[in-house]
Amino acid sequence: MEKYKKFLVLLIIVASAFFLSILYINKHSVHAEKSSISKEIDKSLTYGETEISDYVSGKFSPASHSLFVSLAKESVPTDGRTHYLRIETVEALKKMLSDFSEKHPKIKIYVRSATRTYNDQANIWNSKWNANTSIKDESKRALKILQFSSMPGTSRHHWGTDFDINELTDEYYLKGNGKIIYSWLKENASKYGFYQPYTADRKQGYYEEKWHWSYKPLSSQFVKAWNNNFSGDSVHKLKGFFGADKSLPMAELYVNSINPNCF
């Protein structure tokens, strides 16, 4: 009889352990399923109503996009023109500018360039192309423009995460108010998610731009999305960009030659 009691107790213990393991597996299966669903939701929220390939190449209107807001309506200081950024970027930017203003109430940081569409960037490219006709070699002319300007479809300004401030010359940030602004941003911008993508320590790509800042929590995703979804059809059609066989690798070089902290 005693043997049967021990066997029964052992059987109950084994059965209980089995039941608990089933519960554990089911719980984690549900959790994994929810995580998968969350990733799909996050993916859809990242690009809103725009296809990924169109989004990363700037082929949409930020003025009518559900994930973008006007800086003027959000009371973000600008150069007086209409600018748009992603909602998340603006919220972080407002906090950063508020803290800077508290520290330096007499100095103003303002946005002078924000989201640009593919067509906006094409206008910039074509304007600079026509302004550099003295450079007869088309490849050299393109490289001259690429010192500071992206080819349409390859600009970080397409994403709603990147913006330019105050003055578009590095010299401005070496003295006076410009130096105060840049020094503060270098020390504090990362606390709000902002980084300078085009720093002086890079070996290739665009020249340094002390005025250009990027919201990493989103832009780091869009760099990957650009690499996964950009076909190169846009840059193939542009004048002087090395021919169809070389244009995409060159575009990839410029998109990816950024401050490592921005990835």
Q: Give me the residues of the chain with pLDDT under 70, please.
A: 1-45, 232-247
What's the pLDDT score for residue 238? Answer: 66
- In our burial notation (b when 16+ CB lie closer than 10 A, e otherwise), range 150-181 reads bbbbbbbbbbbbbbbbbeeeeebbeeebbebb
Q: Distance between CA atoms of 61 and 119, rounded to whole angstroms? A: 10
Angle between helices 118-131 and 138-145 (to 10 degrees): 120
Work out the number of other CB atoms within 10 angstroms of the CB of residue 84: 24
What's the pLDDT score for residue 263? Answer: 95
Task: Mark residue 58 as left, alpha or beta (left: phi above 0; alpha: psi -120 to 50; beta: remaining).
Answer: left
Estimate to the nearest angstrom the gap between the alpha carbon of 235 and the chain centroid. 20
Q: Distance between CA atoms of 238 and 155, rounded to whole angstroms? A: 14
Write the pLDDT tens digit of every residue in 64-121.
999 999 999 999 999 999 999 999 999 999 999 999 999 999 999 999 999 999 999 9
What's the pLDDT score for residue 121? Answer: 93
**Whether 234 contacts 57, CB under 8 Å:** yes
Q: Can you read off the two tokens belonging to residue 9? A: 């107790």
What's the pLDDT score for residue 1? Answer: 54
- Bridge partner residues of 165 (DSSP): 111
Q: Distance between CA atoms of 93 and 75, rounded to whole angstroms? A: 11
pTM to 2 decimal places: 0.81
What's phi and psi for 16, nearest 5 deg? -65, -45
What's the pLDDT score for residue 250? Answer: 80
Q: Distance between CA atoms of 135 and 50, rounded to whole angstroms? A: 38
Angle at 247 between CA 210 and CA 258, to 5 degrees: 25
